[in-house]
């Protein structure tokens, strides 16, 4: 075995096979964990343009749109910029200075106290950043709901002959479970999911290439079994250090390390087995599954929100249970690793690795 290992080290791919998984986990986690998206900050910089043409009422002398704007400013985490004309607002939207526009018509106040349903005009655009586009897409329903409640309250007040209060009839008492203390903690489960898959994939590929030689097939099967345990141990520990440092929670060090290490080894054995039996053609399956983990992994979005054809795959094989387990590790939510699926993947991988080794040994 020692002689085989010495010859294996002479292969130019052996050293990369041992260190590249660590580099993947270090580089990907470092750049993502040190610059995570802060949802609250993204919402606070979202700029809503307003064109207020409302002529108001003469009796009583109020401008209902101004009351509505005040309520929006207090209850929605947006910046509001007012424009005198529609053309100025459209130019600002096209230039990306604002992310959406709400237009109040001259008859808004009269319509608000009337008996009929009426419309307001909202413009958004999809040439902006992803976060701005996403919020602008949700904006019409948010404003429609908020203003419908405000108009209903207003009409009720006028029907009773009372001045409108402008307040909400129902307020929400919000309780947040597993509240995060930093944006880094929010992004950590996705970083763990993607780096686990990517490091296992690249490590298995390089190790397969490094062990394709005239060495003893049984010993090569042994190395393909043992070496993923070693190189992914170091890689997962580096990832755990970055996540603990970025979140400021060093209590995560050991749980992240052990969970990622276990999952990565099981995936590494499965991928190594596929390479051992089917060769490089396995990339056609492993590579897409790795890079589609943003949709399938359960850390970024629910599988139900994935494109239709990916959702079918995610419903057949529950990849999202891994993301749920990682979320449990980071947030203390109690989700456990899918041990049955991981054990099955490890067993299949080891059977394929050793079957390929024994078949090659018999042929030679």
Residues whose CB is less than 8 angstroms from the CB of residue 88 and which lie 6 or more positions away in sequence, other chains included: none
With CA atoms as reference, report the closest residue to 14 among 314, 231, 277. Answer: 231
pLDDT by residue (tens digit) across 224-253?
A: 999 999 999 999 999 999 999 999 999 999
| Per-residue pLDDT at 267 | 97
The H-or-E segment that residue 101 falls in is strand 100-104
pLDDT by residue (tens digit) across 184-199?
A: 999 999 999 999 999 9
| Per-residue pLDDT at 74 | 63
DSSP-derived secondary structure letter, 161: T
Task: Say which CATH architecture domain 40-159 belongs to.
Answer: 3-Layer(aba) Sandwich (3.40)
Residue 5: which pLDDT band, with cuts at 50, 70 and 90? low
pLDDT by residue (tens digit) across 110-162?
A: 888 888 888 888 998 888 887 788 888 888 888 887 777 777 777 777 776 66
| Per-residue pLDDT at 188 | 94
pTM of the model: 0.83
| Per-residue pLDDT at 214 | 64
Say whether pLDDT at 166 is over 60.
no
- Among the listed ranges 16-20, 125-129, 282-286, which one has the minimum average pLDDT value? 125-129
Say whether pLDDT at 173 is over 80.
no
Residue 3: which pLDDT band, with cuts at 50, 70 and 90? low
3-state secondary structure of 36: coil
Which residues pair with residue 119 across a beta bridge?
none
Residues whose CB is less than 8 angstroms from the CB of residue 70 and which lie 6 or more positions away in sequence, other chains included: 166
Tokens of 325: 């387990």
DSSP-derived secondary structure letter, 180: -
Share of the chain above pLDDT 90, in %: 45
Q: Report how far residue 188's alpha carbon sits from residue 110's, in angstroms, rounded to the nearest whole number.
A: 51
With CA atoms as reference, report the closest residue to 100 among 84, 67, 78. Answer: 78
Q: Report how far residue 32's alpha carbon sits from residue 240's, in angstroms, rounded to the nearest whole number.
A: 14
Say whether pLDDT at 176 is over 60.
yes
DSSP-derived secondary structure letter, 252: G
| Per-residue pLDDT at 213 | 66
Largest CA distance in the chain: 99
- What pairing do the DSSP bridges indicate for beta strands 100-104 and 47-52? parallel
Q: Domain extents for the chain?
A: 2-36+182-363, 40-159
Say whether pLDDT at 268 is over 90.
yes
Residue 1: which pLDDT band, with cuts at 50, 70 and 90? low
Which residue would you say has higher pLDDT here, 117 or 340? 340
Beta carbons of 198 and 235 less than 8 angstroms apart: no
Q: Report how far residue 354's alpha carbon sits from residue 122's, in angstroms, rounded to the nearest whole number.
A: 63
| Per-residue pLDDT at 218 | 83
What φ, ψ does residue 188 adopt, rounded to 5°? -55, -45
């Amino acid at each position: 075995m020692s002689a085989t290992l010495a010859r294996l080290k002479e292969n130019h791919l052996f050293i990369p096979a041992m260190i590249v998984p660590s580099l993947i986990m270090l580089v990907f986690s470092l750049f993502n964990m040190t610059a995570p998206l802060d949802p609250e900050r993204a919402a606070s910089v979202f700029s809503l343009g307003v064109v207020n043409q409302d002529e108001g009422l003469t009796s009583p002398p109020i401008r209902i749109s101004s009351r509505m704007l005040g309520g929006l400013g207090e209850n929605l985490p947006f910046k509001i910029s007012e424009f005198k004309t529609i053309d100025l607002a459209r130019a600002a939207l096209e230039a990306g200075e604002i992310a959406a526009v709400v237009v109040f018509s001259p008859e808004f106040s009269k319509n608000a106290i009337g008996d009929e349903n009426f419309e307001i005009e909202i413009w958004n655009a999809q040439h902006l950043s992803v976060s701005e586009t996403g919020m602008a897409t949700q904006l019409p329903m948010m404003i429609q709901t908020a203003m419908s409640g405000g108009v209903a309250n207003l009409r009720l007040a006028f029907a009773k002959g009372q001045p409108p209060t402008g307040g909400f009839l129902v307020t929400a008492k919000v309780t947040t479970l597993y509240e995060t203390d930093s944006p880094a903690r929010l992004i950590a489960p996705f970083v763990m999911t993607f780096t686990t898959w990517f490091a296992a994939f690249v490590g298995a590929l390089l190790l397969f290439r490094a062990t394709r030689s005239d060495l003893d097939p049984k010993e090569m099967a042994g190395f393909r079994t043992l070496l993923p345990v070693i190189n992914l141990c170091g890689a997962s520990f580096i990832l755990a250090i970055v996540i603990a440092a970025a979140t400021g929670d060093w209590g995560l060090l050991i749980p992240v390390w052990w969970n990622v290490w276990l999952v990565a080894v099981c995936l590494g054995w499965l991928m190594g087995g596929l390479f051992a039996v089917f060769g490089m053609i396995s990339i056609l399956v492993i590579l897409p599954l790795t890079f589609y983990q943003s949709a399938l992994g359960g850390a970024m979005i629910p599988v139900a929100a994935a494109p239709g054809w990916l959702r079918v795959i995610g419903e057949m094989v529950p990849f999202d249970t891994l993301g749920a387990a990682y979320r449990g590790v980071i947030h203390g939510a109690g989700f456990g690793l899918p041990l049955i699926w991981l054990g099955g993947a490890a067993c299949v991988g080891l059977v394929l690795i050793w079957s390929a080794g024994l078949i090659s040994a018999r042929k030679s």
